[in-house]
Amino acid sequence: MRLRYVARKVGWSLLTLLFVLSANFFLFRILPGDPLALLARSQRLAPSALAKQRAIFGLDQPLPSQFVTYLHETLTGNLGVSIISGQDVASLVASRIWPTVLLVGIGTGLAAVIGVLVGIRGGWNRGSGFDRGTLYGSLVLYSAPEAWLGMLLLIAFAGTLGWFPAGGYSSGTTTGLGQVADVANHLVLPVVTLALGYVGQFVIVMRSSMLEVKEAPYVEVARAKGLSERAVRRGHVVPNAFLPSFTLIVLSVGFILGGAIVIETVFSWPGLGLLTYQAIQDQDYPVLEAVFLLSSAAVVLANLVADLAYGYLDPRIDEV
């Protein structure tokens, strides 16, 4: 991989992060209006109290000065305090990262493994009953709303059968291995919901890549050399067809820190998604700024990793 290719990708990523920082500031400071004025209308703050709060949050300064202060504080890890709770935003966000990583990481990994394997088999056996069934099923799951899937699972397995809890992170009544089992029990329904919602895209992408690669000239050459169909599939078709799915997997990992807002809200899972939903409801802009910045930076970083890995896996890429 050429150094110029790496430098170009890193440079574009840094420029994207700078754009995200700027957009993050103006998006929540200008478009919604004065957040404290909105809060005052709901809580009937006196003008003197409102002026005091505006000074505390630095909203009494000119916009350019606010932007410079915002850049300095963000780069030093100071994300401000919550307008609603008064908690340090960095600590509040940090406390929600692990539940989201647990939920979205396991769910995405499960969807990726199942989706890629199903896509390989379906694409290799195009037109078979398995291919048609899994393709139609993938399209249905891909188009199904996550909230609808989650509520169906809640009604069936939490309400009717009572096999799993209806929501939350844990019951809080156990410790040690019992606590691990308790968290895993609470995790089942949201993970299955997320995996069902994501598996369709992995099946479709992998199947499409298999269909394209299996018709490539070098695959015909491999067959002409006398290789078995199994060897052709494993040694030539799957490795090359996996590249688009690899990119999708890496980008999906980047979305982990964005949280699964709908799923976490349906199952009351205390992650970044639920925190985002609550901040939207409360118009808590410092929290929204922090979550947006964190999730955007994670996506940019994941995209950079995907580009660099793609350039390594396919040397033709860095020649462009």
Residues 252 and 277 in one domain: yes
Q: What is the pLDDT of residue 120?
A: 92
The reply to whether 81 falls in a domain is no
268: in domain: yes
Per-residue pLDDT of the chain (320 residues; tens, 9 = 90+): 577 777 888 888 889 888 888 888 777 766 655 556 555 555 565 666 666 666 666 666 777 777 888 788 888 888 878 877 778 888 888 888 888 888 988 998 999 999 999 999 998 888 888 989 999 999 998 888 888 888 999 899 988 888 888 888 877 777 778 888 888 888 999 999 999 988 999 999 999 998 888 888 888 888 888 778 888 888 888 888 888 888 888 877 777 666 578 888 888 888 888 888 888 887 788 888 888 888 888 888 888 887 777 766 666 555 54
Tell me how far CA of residue 314 lies from CA of 48, 149, 207, 239, in angstroms.
Answer: 63, 38, 20, 11
In a domain, 317, yes or no: no
d(CA 22, CA 300): 15
- The residue from 18, 44, 75 where one domain ends is 75
Same domain, 47 and 178: no
**For position 54, what pLDDT does the model report?**
66
Cβ neighbours of residue 158 under 8 Å, at least 6 residues apart?
164, 165, 166, 189
Same domain as 103, residue 239: yes
Confidence at residue 42, expressed as pLDDT on a 0 to 100 scale: 52
Residue 255 lies in a domain: yes
Cα gap 163→241, rounded to integer Å:
39
Give the C-alpha distances (Å, rounded to integers) separating 136 from 1, 110, 197, 201, 249: 40, 20, 14, 12, 22
Asked if 134 contacts 116 with a C-beta cutoff of 8 angstroms, the reply is no
**CA separation for the pair 182, 169 (Å, rounded):** 8
Cα–Cα dist 134/129, whole Å: 8
Last residue of a domain, one of 24, 45, 75: 75
Residues 37 and 111 in one domain: no
Residues 128 and 182 in one domain: yes
Quick check: is 320 in a domain? no
Query: By C-alpha distance, which of 59, 93, 70, 92 is closest to 23?
Result: 70
SS3 category, 40: helix
Contact 77, 165 (CB under 8 A): no
Amino acid 113: pLDDT = 93
Closest CA to 219 of 196, 189, 242, 241: 241
**What is the model's pLDDT at position 33?**
59
Joined tokens for residue 283: 């118009």
Rounded Cα distance between 6 and 23, Å, is 26
Check residue 319 and give its pLDDT: 52
d(CA 164, CA 295): 30
For the entire predicted model, the pTM comes to: 0.80
pLDDT of residue 23: 84
If asked whether residues 204 and 273 sit together in one domain, one would say yes
CB 89 within 8 A of CB 177: no
Q: Are residues 95 and 225 in the same domain?
A: yes
In a domain, 319, yes or no: no
CATH number at residue 206: 1.10.3720.10
Q: How many CA atoms lie within 13 A of 212 on its CB side?
A: 12
Pair 219, 237: CB distance under 8 Å? yes
Domain membership of residue 39 as a residue range: 3-75
* 98/247 same-domain check: yes
* Shared domain check, 43 and 173: no
Count of domains observed in the chain? 2
CB 307 within 8 Å of CB 9: yes
Domain boundary among 49, 75, 101: 75
d(CA 299, CA 153): 29
Residues 108 and 32 in one domain: no
- Look at the alpha carbons of 304, 211, 136, 192 in this order and tell me if their dihedral is positive or negative: negative
Q: Are residues 94 and 121 in the same domain?
A: yes
Nearest to 118 by CA among 200, 42, 179, 31: 200
**Residue 228 CA, distance from chain mean position:** 40
Residue 315 located in a structural domain: no
User: Does 163 fall in a domain?
Assistant: yes
| 181 and 48 together in one domain | no
